[in-house]
């Protein structure tokens, strides 16, 4: 997805994964650590994090970087995570058999993860406009 802004052309890549069999709260604590960080720093954090939620997020960040470099020609080293969010998905509902022919409902949560990678803007300072 390419977005145009008024001052300069900003390019961003948006990736989404759906129906991950994990709670939103468990994924949220990993997402909070990577939001706003550079691509290389994000990979380092996710590879060393001991949480189960870091693996699908790592795959999603890899996919976003691959899409950015292949489809739009962006450099992976110059990108950062501009937006990362987790939303609730539908519950997977099952029944567990209990005593005397009864059943007990089991609700397993799912979540949807969205990550947006943006290119770092390169500011060029004009020395004629700066006065000291």
| Whole-prediction pTM | 0.79
Quote the pLDDT of residue 75.
85
pLDDT tens string for the chain (132 positions)? Answer: 444 444 446 788 999 999 999 999 999 999 999 999 999 999 999 999 999 999 999 999 999 999 999 988 888 888 999 999 999 999 999 999 999 999 999 999 999 999 999 988 765 455 555 555
DSSP states along the chain: -EEE-SSSEEEEEEEEEEEESS-HHHHHHHHHHHTT-BHHHHHHHHHH---TTHHHHHHHHHHHHHHHHHHS---GGGEEEEEEEEEE-PPEEEEEE-GGG-EEEEEE--EEEEEEEEEPP-----TTT---
**Which CATH fold topology does 12-119 show?**
Ribosomal Protein L22; Chain A (3.90.470)
Instruction: Enumerate the domain spans of the chain.
Output: 12-119
């Amino acid at each position: 997805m390419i977005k145009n802004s008024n001052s300069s052309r900003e390019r961003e890549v948006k990736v989404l994964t759906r129906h991950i069999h994990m709670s939103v709260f468990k994924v949220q604590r990993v997402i909070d650590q990577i939001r706003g960080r550079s691509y290389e720093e994000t990979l380092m954090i996710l590879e060393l994090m001991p949480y189960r939620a870091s693996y699908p997020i790592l795959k999603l960040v890899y996919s976003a970087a691959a899409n950015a470099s292949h489809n739009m020609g962006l450099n992976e080293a110059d990108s950062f995570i501009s937006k990362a969010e987790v939303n609730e998905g539908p519950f997977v509902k099952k029944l567990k058999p209990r005593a005397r022919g009864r059943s007990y409902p089991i609700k397993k949560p799912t979540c949807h993860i969205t990550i947006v990678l943006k290119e770092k803007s390169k500011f060029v300072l004009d020395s004629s406009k700066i006065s000291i």
